[in-house]
Structures are given as C-alpha cells and as structure tokens.
Structure 1
Amino acid sequence: MTTINTHYRLSHKIEDEAFALSQAPYCNLYISLSLKAIRFAVADTVRNKFVVLEDYELITVFTPLQMAEQLRLIAEENPLLQEKHWNVVRASFSNQHFTLVPETLYDPAHQQDYLRLHSELNALQDVVLSYRHSGLEAVNIFSVDATAYQALQEIFPRQRVQVVHQTSALIRSILHHTDHSPGRQMNIFVERNYVTILVVNQSGLEFCNIFQYQSPEDFIYFIVFVMQEQKLNPEQETLVVWGDITHDSALFHILQKYIRQVKLGKKPADIEYSYKFHDLFEHRYFELYSLHLCE
C-alpha cells in the first residue's frame, strides 16, 4: 500500500468564537487551491461576515497530483472539510490555463477549442470548465487538474462545488471595488513565482494575464513590459498590489524602484470581518475573500 507523506503545515488560523459548525447551512465555505497553498474561509451569510480563515502552506509540492494528495490528507483531519451541509462551497484554482472569450462568440460545445489556442490540454489529466462574467459579457474558460477536481467531488459527495479560475474571483472583486474616477488602473496579485496583472477602466477589464517569475528582476520585467504595452506611465500611474508580498520584501522594493506610486490594496469592503481578522494585512488573502463576490 502506498503511503502519502504530509507536505503541508498550518501557517495561519483564525476562528471567531461565535462560529460553530452547526451554523454551516447558513455559511459559505471558500477554498483557494494552488501549488503553494491551500486556503479556506467561512463567511456567515446571516451576519454577512467572514468568521474563519485557515492557511496551509504546501512544502515540496510541485504537481497538481501532489496538491490533490495534500488536499485529501487535510480533509481527513479538518472539520471544515468533513462538514457536508454548507450553504455554498466555492473553490478557485490558480494556474495559467485560462482564456476570456466574448459571450457573443462563446459556444459551449467548443470551449476546449478556445482553450487550446492558449494552453496545452491533456484529455486524461484536465477538466475544462467555464465561468460567465455577466458584467463583462465574457466567459472565462479554464482547465483544472482532474485529480484535484475529483478530490473536491469526493470530499463533498452530496454537495455541488462551484469551481472557478482564480482570475475570475480577482476580476469580479477588482471591478467591483475600482474607484469610479476617470482613467485606467493597473493591479497585480502576487503569488510565489506567479504574478497576475490586470488593467481596468470605468468600462471594465482591458487586460488580464498571469506570468511566471523566478527572481525580482523577472517580476519587475513583466510588470514594466505590460505597462509599456498598455501605454501606462510608470512615473505617473498608481500600481495597486495584493497577495503574498510584504512592504519590506525584495519584490516590493523593486516595485518602488521602477514605479513611482505603489500602494497595497484593501480587502473587499461589502462584507464584514470578525475582529480577529484585523491583525492581518489588508492586501493578504484577497483571492480568498474575492470568492464571496462570485455567483
């Protein structure tokens, strides 16, 4: 029998004293999945408040199969994943396999064909899904690893799990909270070795892509390159930053070196947060909170 080793550690946990699993039918469970972390949050829909957050760091995990194995191991001991009566379960996947297609051109029968223009697909290893952005009149077509997708179905066998691409959660949240001032705004969401870049204006989304970086120099190259391509001036524009980055990190320092105005973003404002969340940096866990704005 093959034994799966544990390659995760719980790096952060918050739980409001007023929360109990018996409240699950009135709460939403949000799950964020990547090769670097598996994160959970619970939102109480009656009080419109986040009440639980758990952050599991993945260690020496390099493939979606390994990530799925760790998800199953966490589920064996985590009460949130053993509870089967949530109001909504919504999960996001972080990967580079996505494309946005205008709704007027979208044909569900050809969603694999759309995605093949941007990503290599393996019929045995990938599940192709889609998410409709009603405000954008666009459809996000994406693929997720079949083993990770199956793991979610096994953990919640009697409940539908809504699966979205992480970019959809970011797009929904950033468009919802973008200042209604004229002009364009560039936003980045930082993960370890990946950065998602989004450019928005009053009318909606102009640009969205994910870049893989290995060093601070790679990181800033992609950001400045996109600014140049989008005709945004690093001397004049304000760059808004979310994600796994700190103000004293090498990534933040190189941002400040090349871009005059850099500010850390804030968490979504249309929902409240338990007082226990107040010690967290506002720009952290944005991808998890943003799942609350998906439908």
Structure 2
Amino acid sequence: MNTINTHYRLSHKIQDEAFSPSQASQCNLYIALSQKAIRIAVANTERNKFVVLEDYELITIFSPMQIGEQLRLIAQENPLLQEQNWNLVRVSVSNQHFTLVPETLYDPAHLQDYLRLHSDINPVQDEVLYYRHNGLEAINIFAIDKGLHQALQDLFPEQPLQIVHVTSSLIRSILHQTPRTNLRSMYAFVERNYVTLLVIGPGGLEFCNIFNYVSPEDFIYYIIFIMQEQKMNPEQETLTVWGDITHDSSLFNILQKYIRQIKLGKKPSDIEYSYKFHDLFEHRYFELYSLHLCE
C-alpha cells in the first residue's frame, strides 16, 4: 500500500502533435530537479527540436528524499518516465552542494574531500558525483541525496543516465551563447528561494555560486554584494536574468531600484522549439533547455 501523499501539481504541459513515445530512441529526455519543481522535456535529436515540456510544481516539500518520492509518484502516471528506450536521459539537480575544481588539481580519490571544503555533506545520505567541463578545464563536484539518486536509477535501470549539477548546465549554456568581449558581465538564474550568480569575463567564467534568499531584500543584497566584490558597478553593468521571475514580481521591482540595466535572457538558440513553445516567456525553463548543451 502506498502511504506517500501527493505533493505536486502539473502547472504546465506542452506536447507537439508530431511527437510519439515510439520516437523515444531518437530523443533525449531531460529532467530538472529542485525543491520547488520537477521539470521534464523531450528533445528530438534528429530534428534538433524540443517537442515536449512538463512542469510539476512541488508543494510543501522540505527534503531531497521527498523530491525522490514525488518523482516516483509522477512516474506512476507519466508515460515519459515509464519509457525505457530514450537515446539519453540527462538530469540536473539544484542545491548548494557543489564546487568547481581546476582539472590540474583534480584527483577522483578525493571527491568528498573537495566538496567538504564548501559544503556540509553527510556520507550516509549524500552521493558525490562530478561533471567534467572540458572547455573550462574544470570539474564540477556535487552531491545528490542517495534516495533521490536511487529513485532515478530505479526509473531508468537500462538507460544511459547522466546526472549534472544545475550550475553545469547554466555554465555550458551561458558560455556558449555569450560573445567573448573585453567586458565582464553578470548573469542570474532565479529559482524560488535560490539565485545562481555567474560572472563571465574575457577569459571565461570568473565566478559562480548559489545563494538562498527569503525576501526580495535578501535577493538584491547578494546581487549587489557580489557585484561589489567583483568590482562591478550596478549603475553601469547590465544584469541578464533567467528563471522564475516576472516583470511584475517583487524581485524584478527591487532589481529595477538598484540595477540600472536589466535584461531578461533568451532561451538557447542552437536548438529549435516546437511552435507550441512560442507562447512561453523566453527566460523561463532555461535550466531545462540548457541540459541539451551538456556533453
């Protein structure tokens, strides 16, 4: 008997009429996991086009283990998560347990040691994984809850399954579409209660971290603080923003008070999107689309 309660609701669903589960072997399945949402997308690799998007809002979820439980519940009713013939399944996890290590210093025998310098991880509860950024010559070392990791492995026992940290997909995507100039720029990816800040300079990535905010005042504090730390001027810099933020939100309003130039980012341009995606805000679901650019 299943005693786990349902704490999710499907808030958005898009499916191109041309897509059929029988095409799974020609498609990649992408899943973005956070404490507030489980998001799923399908990209047809032969057509290089996104054809499905599903957004499940998580309600009263307080732990990664609960995310895994809700993922299992969704899978009971979701044909995409039941399909076992995908070309590739790639998953991103969003948490603050990550660190970027230069490849020259990387020793796979010390994964947990690297991460312990930055995060309070529990070897009993956390699985430590890594993702290699070839262009950066850096390794992203991160933790995922073992229960959540097991849920993913149970869902896709026969599939090629790749798990990355959300920062890796953001870094890959932003570096890919940012023209190299002599200027330094800041980028923000907004989730409910978390904001990821990146600074890109002439040499590439210069800063990346995730901050937990409770109020709009917390939110703007971290942005201004990092700008000052990075010797950037809020009166002169352009901040590009993606994620769960709207023009009429309190977060956007406080950004306008302190940052002179704010630009809502666009979705990755190296892949096409079904016409059904055209009604979505360009800056939404960036973390999900960006999984297509990982390797």
Q: TM-score band, normalised by the shorter chain?
A: over 0.9
**Helix, strand or coil at the partner of 1:96:** coil
How far has the Cα of 1:252 moved from its partner?
0.3
Name 1:224's counterpart in structure 2: 224
- What amino acid maps onto 2:53 in structure 1? L
Name 1:17's counterpart in structure 2: 17
CA distance in 2 between counterparts of 1:199 and 1:179 reads 13
Preserved CA contact (<8 Å) 2:239 2:262: yes
Name 1:179's counterpart in structure 2: 179
Name 1:62's counterpart in structure 2: 62
1:97-129 C-alpha deviation (Å, 9 max, x unpaired): 000000000000011100000111211100000
How far has the Cα of 1:274 moved from its partner?
0.3
CA distance in 2 between counterparts of 1:41 and 1:13 reads 10
How far has the Cα of 1:239 moved from its partner?
0.2
- What amino acid maps onto 1:160 in structure 2? P
Name 1:96's counterpart in structure 2: 96
**Helix, strand or coil at the partner of 2:39:** strand
Name 2:139's counterpart in structure 1: 139
Pair 1:192 & 2:192 matched: yes
How far has the Cα of 1:2 moved from its partner?
5.6
Aligned residues: 295
**Matched ranges for 1:28-107 at <5 A:** 28-107=28-107
Name 1:267's counterpart in structure 2: 267
1:5-47 C-alpha deviation (Å, 9 max, x unpaired): 1000000000000000000000000000011000000000011
Preserved CA contact (<8 Å) 2:188 2:197: yes
Name 1:280's counterpart in structure 2: 280
- What amino acid maps onto 2:116 in structure 1? R
1:176-210 C-alpha deviation (Å, 9 max, x unpaired): 01123320110000000000000002321000000
- What amino acid maps onto 2:38 in structure 1? I
CA distance in 1 between counterparts of 2:17 and 2:199 reads 39
CA distance in 2 between counterparts of 1:181 and 1:283 reads 23
- What amino acid maps onto 1:203 in structure 2? G
**Helix, strand or coil at the partner of 2:119:** coil
**Helix, strand or coil at the partner of 2:91:** strand
Name 1:123's counterpart in structure 2: 123
CA distance in 1 between counterparts of 2:202 and 2:90 reads 28
CA distance in 2 between counterparts of 1:219 and 1:120 reads 23
Extract structure 1 runs of 4+ deviating beyond 4 A: none
| Residues 2/84 of structure 1: CA separation in 2 closer, same or farther (3 Å cut) | closer
- What amino acid maps onto 1:257 in structure 2? K
CA distance in 1 between counterparts of 2:151 and 2:55 reads 18
- What amino acid maps onto 2:158 in structure 1? R
**Matched ranges for 1:135-174 at <5 A:** 135-174=135-174
Question: Percent identity among equivalent residues?
Answer: 76
- Aligned residues: CA RMSD: 0.7
Q: TM-score, normalised by structure 1?
A: 0.99
CA distance in 1 between counterparts of 2:267 and 2:203 reads 22
Preserved CA contact (<8 Å) 2:87 2:160: no
**Helix, strand or coil at the partner of 1:56:** strand
- What amino acid maps onto 2:72 in structure 1? R
How far has the Cα of 1:160 moved from its partner?
2.6
- What amino acid maps onto 2:40 in structure 1? F
- What amino acid maps onto 1:267 in structure 2? K
CA distance in 2 between counterparts of 1:179 and 1:264 reads 17
